[in-house]
Amino acid sequence: MLITITLVMVALLVGLDQLTKYLVITNVKPVDAVPVLDNILQFRYVENTGAAFSILSEKTWLLSLITGVLIVGALLYLFIKKPKNKLECASIILVVSGGLGNLIDRIFRGYVVDFIEYLFMEYAVYNFADILVTIGAILLVISIFLDKGEADA
């Protein structure tokens, strides 16, 4: 049952990520940018050949390999070792979904479509998959600290 729920959640999140990127390609790319909140947030089409903050630009094959290995490792952990709690399970699902969403871009486009841009500060342009990975990583750290706290008690 856990496998089915996990795969459905991953499919839904990856589908949502790919839908947002499709909408950006069809609606934002032709005009370059669309204001969302004046002087705060806009959607701007960006082709990112690197990782976060364009680290390892033009190393798409390396990033694809690393991402693929991490996704397989996370799925094996989920299905074989079994997460300790629901928070850990949810965090891994989020990280896998975000990683897979960006991996699909790298494999089929040669770059990741980024589009969320803050206007009130200098920050990287990012996408929905990046949000999933970030929230998943934060939840995983919280889960580890909570588990460590219970072990010490």
First to last CA, the chain: 32
Structure tokens at 98: 């975000």
Residues forming the active site: 114, 130
CB-based contacts of 51: which residues, under 8 Å, 6+ apart?
A: 63
